[in-house]
Amino acid sequence: MTVVSSSNQSSLCLRDSIPKQHRAKVCSEHPQLKNLISTQYTGEEFNPIYYTNDFFVWKIYPNSEKVFQVGHMLTYQPVCLLGKYGYIASGGLAGQFDYWSPTLKHKHLELGPYYNNGIEVHKRNSDHQPEALISTNDRSVKVVDLASGILTRNLRLPVNMNHASVSNDGRYMVCVGDSPDLFFYEITRSGDYILRHTTQANTKDSSICTSISQNNEMFACASQDSSLSVFDVRYMKFPMLTKTTSRSQPDGSVRSCHFTPPNAGPLDLLLYTEGTKLSHLLDLRTNRDVELVLPNEDDSPYSVSQGICGSCFADDGSSVYVASATHLYEWNIDKKSRKSFPSYAFA
């Protein structure tokens, strides 16, 4: 089923249609890779939002507007960023991979001369130790043990890879690259990756980003040709739902997508962003979405600041964040109303 995005604002999703603004300059060094903000549970009263700017990684606390530098100056300008399981990781255009442990111990790896396009972090079911999956332009997904900093696996694929996601139960991984193909891997108890299925998103272009739902039953794929494909893991031959933005690429290209995080509760939402100005919060109970529109920040109708550099949910699902080059925008979600809604059923 293909659905054209709707701008209907009558939804249980949002408390307000106008976002809060936080001053944060997010630097994007690649025209397609836009996963440059992230958050995670830190045990603090308020969790920070991580972002990249120039040769640095920063974190901002939206409740107080306080900003802190993470680690030292890098040797490159990051093109991907992730905070997960206490780790903060970034990747560069020449194979650089940096990460900070929960104790802020820093490690730098050189994984080859090719772009590191995307990062995922998960904990192995075999020993509950963290490892990173780095999607690269040498047609591989590289697996790095974060405790030791050792490259343990190099999964070879037929195209340059852009992004990978691991299910919350650690049992499977999906990854995408410069083709319509999605590669579905089983992760065994011993930590091996076994390719089980190859399917295709509803696109003829490259796929940029992936995400897996809270309950591990759905996964989504963002594509460069302005489409978002959502799959049911029990039937992967075709997408169960396709959303198409109203604009052609590059403005309408879908650059990032995120299901609500595990700590959020049963909200049944999926956030996805376009290349400029527009993001969407998809209600998976009705298949309708709400447009999140970046405000005009100057008098130009095509402000440079309206390019979208990244997006994420708050760790508890109470807010969504979308970054431009000059600001971090925050929309609050009406979690109480979402949780009182009957169990979702796809239309």
Q: Does residue 235 have a pLDDT over 90?
A: yes
- Check pLDDT > 50 for residue 210: yes
Residue 220 to residue 173: CA distance in whole angstroms: 12
Q: What's 333's DSSP letter?
A: B
For the chain, where are the alpha helices, taking DSSP H only?
Answer: 335-339
Sign of the alpha-carbon torsion through 95, 198, 243, 49: negative
* List of domains in the chain: 2-339 (2.130.10.10)
Residue-wise pLDDT tens digits, 56-75:
999 999 999 999 999 999 99
Give Cα separations from 114 to 90, 117, 134, 138 (angstroms). 14, 9, 11, 6
Is the pLDDT at 297 greater than 90, yes or no?
Answer: no
Please list the residues that pair with 50 across neighbouring strands.
38, 59
Indicate the SS3 state at residue 305.
Answer: helix
Q: Residue 34 is encoded by which pair of tokens?
A: 């836009």
The band of 342, judged by pLDDT with boundaries at 50, 70 and 90, is low
d(CA 312, CA 307): 16
pLDDT computed for residue 304 by the predictor: 52
Is 219 in contact with 212 (CB distance < 8 Å)?
Answer: yes
Question: 46: phi > 0 → left, psi -120 to 50 → alpha, else beta; which?
Answer: beta
**What distance in Å separates the CA atoms of residue 216 and residue 198, rounded to the nearest whole number?**
18
Instruction: Enumerate residues 6+ apart whose C-beta is below 8 A from 49.
Output: 22, 24, 37, 38, 39, 59, 60, 61, 62, 312, 321, 328
**pTM higher than 0.85 for the full model?**
yes
Phi, psi (degrees; rounded to nearest 5) at 97: -140, 120
Query: Considering only CA atoms, which of 114, 218, 192 is closest in space to residue 159?
Result: 114
Mean residue pLDDT across the chain: 91
Q: Distance between CA 209 and CA 135 in Å, rounded? A: 11
Distance CA 75, CA 108 (A): 10
pLDDT at 249 (0 to 100): 85
Residue 17: CB atoms within 10 Å = 12
Amino acid in the structure at residue 223 = S
Contact at 8 Å (CB) between 267 and 258?
no
Residue 123 has pLDDT above 90, yes or no: yes
